[in-house]
Structure formats: C-alpha cells, structure tokens
Amino acid sequence: MKNADEFYIPIIKSDVLIDGISAAPAQKGGQALILQKAFVHSLQSDFATIVNNLVNFFYSSLSRRTINEGLVIIKKDNTAKIYSEFPLSLQMHAKKDMSKGTLVTAEDVFEITEMQFKDAIYQIDIDSGDKIIYLFRIEWKFGLYFDLTGTLNPAKFGEELAYHYKRLFYYDLYSFIENENYYTNLIDDGWFPFVRILGKDFDVIMQYYKDGRKHDFQMDDLIAKFDKNKIESFTQYWWRKDLFKDKKAIIESGISSFSNNDQAGFISCLHILYPQIEGIMGLDYFNAHGSKPNFKELQNYIKQKAESSFKAVSSLGFPNEFYEYLNHSVFENFDLATGRVDLSRHTTSHGYANANDFNKSKALQAILILDQIYFYL
C-alpha cells in the first residue's frame, strides 16, 4: 500500500520530548504520578484537562476550533507527525451478506475487532516503539487514547485500539448491561442483547427498562416488527450451516407457527423450537466429541463455542452472559413445591409450563436464541 503521507499530508514537529502526562499535582522534589498509556473519554471528569493540554501542544488555534479527530505519531527520533485527516478502517462482524462497495450502517455490523489507519490505497506506517496519540469523536462523545511508553507493538495495537473504540461506540449498551437492576430485569423477562437486535431495536428495549417497564407499547411495537419477511431476512443464512439445514423443515414449521400471530401459534412455535436449541448444540457436541452431552456439558460447550467465535475482550457476542442467560431462561429447572414453573425447556417438555407464558415475546426470544447460536457455530 502507498504511504499515507503522500495524500494525508501531516504537519511535522521536531524534538517532541513527551514521555507521559501528569495525573495529579506534584511538588518539585516530591512524588509524581505519570500516565504513559491510557484511554479517557469525555464523560470522565479529567478528560478536558488532558485533551486540552495535548491538543494545544500539537494543533494550531485555528484547527482547535473545529477539531473532531486527530492523530499524532511520534517517531523514535522524536519527530512528530500531526494529522488532521487520516485514513481509518474497522474490522467488524457482519450481520448480513455484503458485496464490495455496499453502503453499511451500524445496524448491519457488530463487534469491532481491529482498527487500522488505512484505506483501500493508503496506510499510515506505525513502527514498533512509536508513540501515539489518537483523538476521536462518536456522536457527542470524545475518546482519547495515548501510548507514550515507546514500547508500542503494531501487531497488537489495532486490537487494543478497537477495544476502546468499541467501548465508547457502544457506551450506552455496556452501561446498561453493567447496571445490575436493568440487566436482572432484562434476563428475568427472557430478553438478552442478542446480536440480531443490537442497534436501534435494543435501544428500544433498554429504554423500556430504564423507564421501569412502564410503557408496554415500546415492547409491543418492537415485537410487532418481526413479521414473516423480517424473520426470513436473517433465517435465510441459517441454512448454510449443516446443523441448521438438517433441521430446516422442523425449524421453519416453528417459525411458520409464530407467523400465525395467535396463542396457538406461539404454543406450537415454542414446543417446536425449544428442543431444537438443545438438539443443534447437542449434535455439534457429538460431532466434536463422539458422545451425547449431559446438560452441564452442553451448557459449557455452548459457552466454549461462543468464546471461540468471539475472542475480543468485552465481546458483543457476550459469551459468558449468554451462558448464564441460557441457565436462567432455557435450561432452568422447575420446582412444583414452590410454584416456580417459569417457561423453560424443562417445563415445556414435561408439561408444567403455564399457558399464559406461551406468548409472542417468548416465541420471538426462542427464534433469537437460535439466531445467536448460529453466530456461535
């Protein structure tokens, strides 16, 4: 690839001797806390102080008025390359097929795994031991990453930067998941941050729980969007995998029942699809190990498959959370003595589930669980 400096011409500044940023006041001769490598964002109280000092040092007063992003690379000879414009690419997972040149929205992708300062033609050269400062904006949030250690590893840098970018891009999602009250209510109702609904759909779900589950129309409107055409828009990809393809007639029967949009259809859908959740993963386990798994082995296997498919830190595939979700929702045991017979694979197959639990929400969740497993396989 061509050197990006040919097109994205940087400003050059010599003798840049920066090894860190003071994290707290320090008296001459006293102890000083120095940040050499960190990520801060505009929702943190110290962000403005740090970013103002760096931006003021590297950028002119004119560019500071309009700056939304900036990149500074300090080479080993202490020469800084200061970019106001630069190429940027993200490595992500796609929710649907894409051809080259397809216009992409945030709804079409998920899971940012790597960032690189390159485009189809140009690439900014980052060498081992360079120092780097990167300022970026996502909507009304700013992020600042810097590594002034002089030990930067280009092979790992892209993944590390992607992690911080992802955490800010999906800040509201992570904050919601990390709120124990919101997340517990979400799981208790059988919902999960399924890959398929990450984006605007899950934004609706988050708002519903933030509002204290007061406005049922929010969920009703969301669920109503999942008609026959919308569901087929993603189940079409399932049949590319043999484990789904072999069960296509069964699964499509369950989805067809869901599309009838009445309780009889929801009952049929759940009775058909719940066993397929267990069956697909059980068959995959058997193909890998040559034996039938017990429930504990099956649950651990699903977790392992998820972790192998989504290896990034804080993955949006949420492998550990999905494992706990399945234990709580799909594979949860029941207790007749205490009246705890929530809808699950066990209460459904053994005939103990309450009729009112066979509803459209639960049926859609079963479809989305299968879709989540599709991404794991």
Distances, alpha carbon 170 to alpha carbons 72, 165, 374, in Å: 25, 9, 23
Partners of 114 in beta bridges:
91
- φ/ψ (deg, to 5) at 51: -70, -35
Per the document, the length of the chain is 377
Any idea what the Cα angle at residue 320 is, between residues 317 and 322, rounded to 5°?
A: 65
Reduced to 3 states, what is the DSSP secondary structure of residue 144?
strand
pTM: 0.90
- Of 361, 371, 368, residue with least CA distance to 266: 361
Residue with tokens 């869901």: 258
Reduced to 3 states, what is the DSSP secondary structure of residue 146?
strand
In the chain, where the domains are located: 2-169, 226-376
d(CA 360, CA 225): 12
Beta carbons within 10 angstroms of residue 335's beta carbon: 9
Half-sphere exposure of 89 (CA within 13 A, CB side): 10
Q: What is the dihedral of CA 137, 141, 142, 143, to 10 degrees?
A: -100
Half-sphere exposure of 341 (CA within 13 A, CB side): 16
Per-residue pLDDT of the chain (377 residues; tens, 9 = 90+): 999 999 999 999 999 999 999 888 888 888 888 999 999 999 998 899 999 888 889 987 667 777 889 999 999 999 999 999 999 999 999 999 999 999 999 899 988 999 999 999 999 999 999 999 999 999 999 999 999 999 999 989 999 999 999 999 999 999 999 999 999 999 999 999 999 999 999 999 999 999 999 999 999 999 999 999 999 999 999 999 999 999 999 999 999 999 999 999 999 999 999 999 989 999 999 999 999 988 788 888 888 888 888 877 788 999 889 988 988 888 777 566 665 657 766 677 767 777 888 899 999 999 999 999 999 98
At 60, list the tokens: 């002119």
d(CA 326, CA 345): 10
At 73, list the tokens: 């690379």
